[in-house]
A = this chain, B = another copy of it.
Amino acid sequence: MNELQERILRDGKVLGGGILKVDSFVNHQVDPLLMDACGREFARRFASVGATKVLTAEISGIAPALTTAIHLGLPVVYARKTKPITMPDQVYLTLAPSHTKGRMVELIVSPEYLANGEKVLIIDDFLASGQTILGLARLAEASGSRIVGIGALIEKLFEGGREALKPLGVQIESLACITAMEDGKVVFGEPA
Protein backbone atom coordinates (compact mmCIF):
# COMPACT_ATOMS: atom_id res chain seq x y z
CA MET A 1 0.00 0.00 0.00
CA ASN A 2 1.59 3.22 -1.17
CA GLU A 3 0.41 5.32 1.76
CA LEU A 4 2.12 3.07 4.31
CA GLN A 5 5.27 2.63 2.19
CA GLU A 6 5.66 6.37 1.77
CA ARG A 7 5.25 6.86 5.50
CA ILE A 8 7.92 4.24 6.23
CA LEU A 9 10.31 5.98 3.84
CA ARG A 10 9.57 9.35 5.45
CA ASP A 11 9.36 8.50 9.17
CA GLY A 12 10.73 4.95 9.62
CA LYS A 13 14.23 4.57 11.02
CA VAL A 14 16.52 1.64 10.37
CA LEU A 15 18.27 0.75 13.62
CA GLY A 16 20.99 -1.86 14.10
CA GLY A 17 20.15 -5.57 14.23
CA GLY A 18 17.48 -5.53 11.54
CA ILE A 19 15.14 -3.36 13.60
CA LEU A 20 12.84 -0.93 11.77
CA LYS A 21 11.64 1.80 14.14
CA VAL A 22 8.10 2.85 13.24
CA ASP A 23 7.00 4.05 16.67
CA SER A 24 6.03 7.48 15.41
CA PHE A 25 3.04 6.09 13.47
CA VAL A 26 2.52 2.35 14.18
CA ASN A 27 3.46 1.55 17.76
CA HIS A 28 3.80 3.91 20.73
CA GLN A 29 2.47 6.83 18.67
CA VAL A 30 -0.19 5.76 16.17
CA ASP A 31 -1.45 7.70 13.15
CA PRO A 32 -5.12 6.77 13.45
CA LEU A 33 -6.11 7.80 9.93
CA LEU A 34 -3.27 5.79 8.39
CA MET A 35 -4.22 2.86 10.64
CA ASP A 36 -7.84 3.20 9.58
CA ALA A 37 -6.78 3.16 5.92
CA CYS A 38 -4.70 0.02 6.55
CA GLY A 39 -7.69 -1.65 8.22
CA ARG A 40 -9.88 -0.77 5.25
CA GLU A 41 -7.30 -2.27 2.89
CA PHE A 42 -7.05 -5.52 4.90
CA ALA A 43 -10.84 -5.72 4.94
CA ARG A 44 -10.86 -5.37 1.14
CA ARG A 45 -8.15 -7.99 0.59
CA PHE A 46 -9.76 -10.50 2.96
CA ALA A 47 -13.37 -9.73 2.03
CA SER A 48 -13.99 -13.19 0.61
CA VAL A 49 -12.23 -15.51 3.10
CA GLY A 50 -15.33 -15.80 5.30
CA ALA A 51 -13.62 -14.82 8.57
CA THR A 52 -15.73 -14.84 11.73
CA LYS A 53 -13.10 -13.34 14.04
CA VAL A 54 -9.92 -11.26 13.90
CA LEU A 55 -7.03 -12.41 16.12
CA THR A 56 -3.87 -10.53 17.05
CA ALA A 57 -1.30 -10.30 19.83
CA GLU A 58 -0.97 -7.42 22.26
CA ILE A 59 0.44 -4.81 22.12
CA SER A 60 1.24 -3.38 18.74
CA GLY A 61 -1.07 -5.70 16.83
CA ILE A 62 -4.12 -4.16 18.50
CA ALA A 63 -4.36 -1.00 16.39
CA PRO A 64 -4.28 -2.61 12.90
CA ALA A 65 -6.43 -5.55 14.05
CA LEU A 66 -9.04 -3.19 15.52
CA THR A 67 -9.36 -1.05 12.39
CA THR A 68 -9.56 -4.19 10.24
CA ALA A 69 -12.28 -5.54 12.53
CA ILE A 70 -14.18 -2.24 12.30
CA HIS A 71 -14.22 -2.47 8.51
CA LEU A 72 -15.14 -6.17 8.50
CA GLY A 73 -17.69 -5.78 11.31
CA LEU A 74 -16.14 -8.71 13.20
CA PRO A 75 -15.09 -9.13 16.84
CA VAL A 76 -11.35 -8.92 17.47
CA VAL A 77 -9.45 -10.87 20.12
CA TYR A 78 -5.96 -9.93 21.25
CA ALA A 79 -3.86 -12.62 22.83
CA ARG A 80 -2.55 -11.46 26.22
CA LYS A 81 1.09 -11.80 27.24
CA THR A 82 0.27 -11.98 30.94
CA LYS A 83 -2.86 -13.61 32.32
CA PRO A 84 -5.20 -11.02 33.85
CA ILE A 85 -7.15 -11.90 36.99
CA THR A 86 -10.38 -11.73 35.00
CA MET A 87 -9.34 -14.74 32.90
CA PRO A 88 -10.45 -18.28 33.81
CA ASP A 89 -7.85 -20.75 35.11
CA GLN A 90 -8.09 -22.90 32.00
CA VAL A 91 -6.69 -21.04 28.98
CA TYR A 92 -5.03 -21.59 25.62
CA LEU A 93 -1.35 -20.73 26.06
CA THR A 94 1.65 -20.99 23.81
CA LEU A 95 5.18 -19.60 23.78
CA ALA A 96 6.72 -17.53 21.00
CA PRO A 97 10.12 -15.85 20.75
CA SER A 98 9.96 -12.06 20.76
CA HIS A 99 12.50 -10.43 18.47
CA THR A 100 12.28 -7.00 20.11
CA LYS A 101 12.24 -8.42 23.66
CA GLY A 102 15.00 -10.98 23.07
CA ARG A 103 13.18 -13.71 25.03
CA MET A 104 10.18 -16.05 24.88
CA VAL A 105 6.81 -14.51 25.61
CA GLU A 106 3.52 -16.20 26.45
CA LEU A 107 0.49 -15.78 24.20
CA ILE A 108 -2.72 -16.47 26.08
CA VAL A 109 -6.32 -16.59 24.86
CA SER A 110 -9.37 -17.38 26.94
CA PRO A 111 -11.46 -20.29 25.62
CA GLU A 112 -14.45 -17.98 26.11
CA TYR A 113 -13.48 -16.04 22.99
CA LEU A 114 -11.94 -18.60 20.65
CA ALA A 115 -14.31 -21.42 19.92
CA ASN A 116 -14.63 -24.53 17.85
CA GLY A 117 -15.49 -23.80 14.23
CA GLU A 118 -14.36 -20.18 14.23
CA LYS A 119 -12.71 -18.89 11.01
CA VAL A 120 -9.84 -16.72 12.14
CA LEU A 121 -8.12 -13.86 10.32
CA ILE A 122 -4.76 -13.05 11.96
CA ILE A 123 -3.61 -9.43 11.74
CA ASP A 124 -0.32 -8.13 13.17
CA ASP A 125 1.96 -5.13 12.77
CA PHE A 126 5.05 -7.07 11.60
CA LEU A 127 5.71 -10.28 9.75
CA ALA A 128 9.40 -11.04 10.31
CA SER A 129 10.32 -14.58 11.39
CA GLY A 130 6.62 -15.44 11.59
CA GLN A 131 6.97 -16.92 15.07
CA THR A 132 4.34 -14.72 16.75
CA ILE A 133 1.84 -15.47 14.00
CA LEU A 134 2.62 -19.20 14.18
CA GLY A 135 1.96 -18.94 17.93
CA LEU A 136 -1.42 -17.33 17.25
CA ALA A 137 -2.17 -20.07 14.72
CA ARG A 138 -1.39 -22.73 17.37
CA LEU A 139 -3.83 -21.04 19.77
CA ALA A 140 -6.50 -20.98 17.09
CA GLU A 141 -5.92 -24.64 16.24
CA ALA A 142 -5.99 -25.62 19.91
CA SER A 143 -9.47 -24.12 20.12
CA GLY A 144 -10.67 -26.09 17.12
CA SER A 145 -10.93 -23.01 14.93
CA ARG A 146 -9.29 -22.55 11.55
CA ILE A 147 -7.00 -19.83 10.16
CA VAL A 148 -8.40 -18.33 6.95
CA GLY A 149 -5.92 -15.50 6.34
CA ILE A 150 -2.87 -13.64 7.64
CA GLY A 151 -2.24 -9.92 7.26
CA ALA A 152 0.73 -7.82 8.37
CA LEU A 153 1.31 -4.11 8.01
CA ILE A 154 5.01 -4.56 7.35
CA GLU A 155 6.80 -7.68 6.16
CA LYS A 156 10.55 -8.18 6.25
CA LEU A 157 10.83 -10.61 3.37
CA PHE A 158 14.43 -11.46 4.22
CA GLU A 159 13.55 -12.94 7.64
CA GLY A 160 11.79 -15.99 6.25
CA GLY A 161 8.39 -15.58 7.89
CA ARG A 162 6.43 -16.15 4.69
CA GLU A 163 8.09 -19.56 4.18
CA ALA A 164 7.45 -20.46 7.83
CA LEU A 165 3.75 -19.67 7.40
CA LYS A 166 3.36 -21.46 4.05
CA PRO A 167 2.33 -24.80 5.64
CA LEU A 168 -0.80 -23.07 6.97
CA GLY A 169 -1.97 -22.84 3.36
CA VAL A 170 -3.76 -19.51 3.63
CA GLN A 171 -3.67 -16.13 1.88
CA ILE A 172 -0.90 -13.90 3.30
CA GLU A 173 -1.07 -10.15 2.71
CA SER A 174 1.43 -7.50 3.72
CA LEU A 175 0.83 -3.82 3.04
CA ALA A 176 4.55 -2.99 2.84
CA CYS A 177 7.04 -5.70 1.83
CA ILE A 178 10.65 -4.87 2.63
CA THR A 179 13.29 -6.76 0.65
CA ALA A 180 16.33 -5.09 2.16
CA MET A 181 17.40 -2.61 4.83
CA GLU A 182 20.94 -1.52 4.11
CA ASP A 183 22.90 1.59 5.06
CA GLY A 184 19.80 2.94 6.78
CA LYS A 185 17.73 2.61 3.59
CA VAL A 186 14.48 0.65 3.22
CA VAL A 187 13.90 -1.13 -0.11
CA PHE A 188 10.41 -2.38 -0.98
CA GLY A 189 9.57 -5.32 -3.21
CA GLU A 190 7.11 -8.13 -3.76
CA PRO A 191 7.12 -11.69 -2.39
CA ALA A 192 8.46 -14.22 -4.90
Q: Which residues on A are within 8 Å of B, measured CB to CB?
A: 15, 19, 21, 23-24, 27-33, 35-36, 58-59, 62-63, 66-67, 69-70, 73-78, 80, 82, 84-87, 100-102, 109-110, 112-113
Contact = CB atoms under 8 A, between A and B. Distances in A.
A182 B100 CA distance: 44
Contact of A100 (B62, B75, B84): B84
B86 A23 contact: yes
Given A28-B113, A80-B28, A86 B100 contact: yes
A30 B110 contact: no
A140 B33 CA distance: 23
Contacts of A19: 85-86
